[in-house]
Structure 1
């Protein structure tokens, strides 16, 4: 899990990167929660997502948005952070130019950035959005959503409302050619404080299903 420093739009960005185990290994990028709410790449959920993709042989990157940790720049209300994510993906792809597919996963604010990124990058074929803040940020850019994925929320999330997430899921499920899974973790708050095992079981079950389908193609 080596530390990496790579160029971003406003200076260097700090990350942790695990190379893929084979030449055409798939790529995964993990995006952290809101910087103004102490979100960093060392968030527990971000680390668990990172570890699960590493175990599956992905070339996996988690990094700090601008102004967080050793990353240069200042918070830019999501606009600059989306550019950071695009630069981070460019950097991974420069190391794994023949990646067979790309995934993006994010928690909270990171889920919002990740879903914007998949609209811009057609190589992203799967997403994991944990507690996407649909009651706080505009998700109308998903028109249409180009990739299948899973949205996961805690049953007693005190930050992101269930109604807003359900509305987002319902909207995405009207679109053709993609499939949106939606899991609600019983008893879980916004940070899944006592339900991390259940959260990661949801993630792993979904990845098992999606990756098995990819192998059959």
Structure 2
């Protein structure tokens, strides 16, 4: 379940660093792009939620790409106010397409800020087959594009999340077209410390239904 260091260009020409795992078995053609939380608040590709999800997916044979947004770690550039990070996401999808070749499916799995820029980045990109949002900050950012999204969607949030409260998440979910799935995890807050296994279970169950 090793990962190799990779680099790839963004849609506007910056170089980003990432970690790529090539899966094996029935799921190796399923590539999951993991987008980390807000870089100005310590978010990077080694975040606890991102790492837990990557390890779980790798154990199940999925191929994964996690990467640092611009200005984080060894990635070039500086924080892009969200608009720049959307270009990072688009660069990551292009990179997966080059690495995986024609016979693959790509999936978005974004956590917090990573869910927001991920959703914006894959809008109208039919190479991405499903959208998974962990603790989406719907009270802070506009997720309206999801209301027109016909691809399968998963939303996971913590019942005790004070940064992304449950009520606006539930209101967004109610406005989404099918197919859609939501889980509100009892006892979990925005950071999921010690409760990461709940997220991985929700995500793997979602994949079972695709």
TM over 0.5, yes or no? yes
The answer on whether the counterparts of 1:150 and 1:182 sit within 8 Å (CA) in structure 2 is yes
2:109 to 105, 109, 118: 105
The answer on whether the counterparts of 1:10 and 1:73 sit within 8 Å (CA) in structure 2 is no
Shift of 1:22: 6.7
What SS does structure 2 have at the residue aligned with 1:203? helix
Shift of 1:186: 0.5
Encode CA deviations 1:90-145: one digit per residue, 9 max, x unaligned: 11111112233211101000011122223131121112110000000011223411
The alignment status of 1:17 with 2:20, answered yes or no, reads yes
The answer on whether the counterparts of 1:104 and 1:114 sit within 8 Å (CA) in structure 2 is yes
Shift of 1:204: 2.0
Cα RMSD between the aligned structures?
1.7
List 4+ stretches of structure 1 deviating above 6 A.
none
**Could you say which residue in structure 1 is the equivalent of 2:192?**
192
Count of residue pairs brought into register by the alignment: 206
What SS does structure 1 have at the residue aligned with 2:19? strand
Encode CA deviations 1:183-217: one digit per residue, 9 max, x unaligned: 0110101011232222222222222232xxxxxxx
Matches within 5 A, 1:152-163: 152-163=156-167
TM-score, with structure 1 as normaliser: 0.89
The answer on whether the counterparts of 1:32 and 1:43 sit within 8 Å (CA) in structure 2 is yes
Gaps of 5+ in 2: none
Q: 1:170 & 1:121 partners in 2: Cα distance?
A: 24
Matches within 5 A, 1:71-86: 71-86=75-90
Shift of 1:10: 4.4
Q: 1:166 & 1:204 partners in 2: Cα distance?
A: 21
Encode CA deviations 1:69-93: one digit per residue, 9 max, x unaligned: 0000111111110101111111111
Greater CA drift, 88-97 or 50-59: 50-59
TM-score, with structure 2 as normaliser: 0.91
Gaps of 5+ in 1: 211-217
The answer on whether the counterparts of 2:147 and 2:175 sit within 8 Å (CA) in structure 1 is no
